[in-house]
Amino acid sequence: MHMRRSAAALLLVASGLAGCGGGDGGSNSLTYYIADAAQEDVATRCATESGGAYAFNIQRLPNTAAGGREQLLRRLAAEDRSMDIVSVDPPFMAEFANAGFLRPFTNAERQEFSDGILAGPLEQSTFRDTLYSAPLYGNTQLLWYRKSVLQKAGVDPAAGPVTWDQLIEGATKAGVTVAAQGRRNESLMVWVNALIASAGGSILAEGSENLPSDQVKGGIDTEAGAEAARIMHDLAVSPAAPAGFSTAGEEDSRAAFQEADGGFMVNWPYVWAAMDSAIEEGSLPANFKDDVGWTTYPRVAAGTEAASPSGGLGLSISSFSRKQELAVEATRCLASAQSQKEFMLTAGNPAALGAVFDDPEVREKFPMAEEIRTGLDAATPRPVSPYYGDVTGVIQTAFHPPDALSPDTTPRAANSLLEDVLRNKRLI
């Protein structure tokens, strides 16, 4: 009994050790950290097509943006040589690149990987004029609405981008909800950034992006910051806010939109495919999507530009990988037009390559393909900063809960918190 137990313990230890160094596998095996299950299918096809030139050891990152960032950061900071290709959420790329964790693409590779990529995804893959990520997909939020409530709400998306105030007022009048992400996580940052950008401002003052942390200036204590705080507060306290507004993430927003009193929602295009699944499961009526319309992301005021949020995923090569050239070769397939199309069809995430949107299959599955492409071209990335982790942490602290915000105090408080945190004077 004792013997057997210690033998089992030894085996456990041995397998644990193998797990640590095991990423290496064969000499042509690349460890690929994926953020979305659909990346694995693409990887399998690429490995087969390579004719044995490379194979993948797939590792899955945590589901949340913050969780994925923390795992990558921890491993890269420890110079984990078993990582080859990593899936990086664009806003976190600058932080990794600045620390020297990512292998910069050469000029020739840059040409290749940025050819035909839409403006939004390309901008967020570049840091200090160097390409660090090959965009796999781009993402942007749209305004989704129930066609049946438009008239009652007095909102007409056909007449051009609607404003947040119109939405709140119209939804209140029609007795329906406006679903947005008030939860304290990265999605709140997405919303704040879109509001401030649409009001003509930016979270970091211009020129701050390349400064050391103790010289970075915030751009929140401005008219734009005040507008953002006002709109978030107004929506949160209005009858148009769905229940649990301050804890609602993307999926909660979709649930609220699918309720009987759902009216409007800002969300990523994956919801379209997700509604299909809900219809298949029987939790939504079969004709539900007939009532669903979409348009450009709302703007702050009639005279301003709508600043659609920008998301997506890029593939980067770890600086500590011992198979960097092979990893670049594999990335050519992983991020190819065909891969992006497959990925868009299975995962519902929009391609970063403009040409994919002209594909008939994509057109059929995504009737809003044109709006997404326009959105991606005009999308406003979150601040590109080596200290992005702190920036988003501060925004999530200072702009939450939305119903407690005030245009008079929030912007100043947020701005000083941002600058103090970056100067190591305060905690978040």
Partner 1 sequence: MSTTIPAAPPQKVAEAGKTTRFRLTDRARKERNLGWMLAGPAFFVMVAVTGYPILNALWLSMFDYRLTDPAGRDFIGLGNYLTILTDGLFWRQFGVTSLITVVTVSVELVLGFGLAMVMHRALYLRTALRTAILVPYGIITVVSAYAWAYAFSNTYGFVNGIFGLGEFDWFGGTWSALAAVCVAEIWKTTPFMSLLLLAGLAQIPDDYLEAAKVDGATAWQRVKRVILPNMKAAIMVALLFRTLDAFRVFDTVFIMTAGSQNTETLSFLAYRQTISRVMVGLGSAVSVILAILVVLIAVMFVKVFKTDLSQQRGDRK
Please state the φ and ψ torsions of residue 292, each to the nearest 5 degrees. -95, 130
Selected from 245, 320, 343, 357, the binder of partner 1 by CB under 8 A is 245
Least Å from the CB of residue 213 to partner 1:
7
Question: Between residue 142 and residue 161, which ones bind partner 1 under the rule CB under 8 A?
Answer: none
Nearer to partner 1, 56 or 127 (CB): 127
CA angle 208, 221, 138 (to 5 degrees): 55
Are 381 and 310 contacting, i.e. CB atoms less than 8 angstroms apart?
yes
Q: Is 238 in the site for partner 1 (CB under 8 A)?
A: no
Q: Is 390 in the site for partner 1 (CB under 8 A)?
A: yes
Q: How many residues make up the chain in this entry?
A: 428
Helix (H) or strand (E) holding 143: strand 142-146
Cα separation of 126 and 133, whole Å?
A: 7
Question: Between residue 86 and residue 105, which ones bind partner 1 under the rule CB under 8 A?
Answer: 95-96, 98-99, 101
What's the start-to-end Cα distance of the chain, in Å? 52
Enumerate the β-bridge partners of residue 178.
264
Q: Is 13 in the site for partner 1 (CB under 8 A)?
A: no
Output the DSSP codes for 340-401. Answer: HHHHHHHH-PPBSBGGGGG-HHHHHH-TTHHHHHHHHHH-BPPP--TTHHHHHHHHHHHT-S
Least Å from the CB of residue 159 to partner 1:
34
Nearer to partner 1, 256 or 327 (CB): 256
Q: Is 373 in the site for partner 1 (CB under 8 A)?
A: no
- Binding-site size for partner 1 (CB under 8 A) equals 33
> What are the residue ranges of helices labelled H in 246-368?
250-258, 270-281, 324-334, 337-347, 360-365
Q: Is 243 in the site for partner 1 (CB under 8 A)?
A: yes
Largest CA distance in the chain: 79
Selected from 103, 110, 184, 373, the binder of partner 1 by CB under 8 A is 184
Q: Where are the beta strands (DSSP E) in 132-210?
A: 134-140, 142-146, 177-179
Cα separation of 217 and 210, whole Å?
A: 11
Question: Between residue 269 and residue 328, which ones bind partner 1 under the rule CB under 8 A?
Answer: none
Cα separation of 134 and 113, whole Å?
A: 6
Are 187 and 181 contacting, i.e. CB atoms less than 8 angstroms apart?
yes
Question: Between residue 246 and residue 275, which ones bind partner 1 under the rule CB under 8 A?
Answer: 246-247, 252, 255
Q: Is 213 in the site for partner 1 (CB under 8 A)?
A: yes
Q: Is 130 in the site for partner 1 (CB under 8 A)?
A: no
Least Å from the CB of residue 369 to partner 1:
31
Q: Is 128 in the site for partner 1 (CB under 8 A)?
A: no
Residue in 424, 419, 425, 310 with CA at minimum distance from that of residue 375: 310
Least Å from the CB of residue 243 to partner 1:
4
**Which one of 191-199, 278-286, 370-378, 385-393 is the stretch in contact with partner 1 (CB under 8 A)?**
385-393
Selected from 24, 40, 41, 70, the binder of partner 1 by CB under 8 A is 70
- Residues of the shown chain interacting with partner 1 in the complex, contacts defined by CB under 8 A: 66, 70, 73-74, 77, 95-96, 98-99, 101, 183-185, 212-213, 243-247, 252, 255, 386, 389-390, 393, 400-401, 424-428
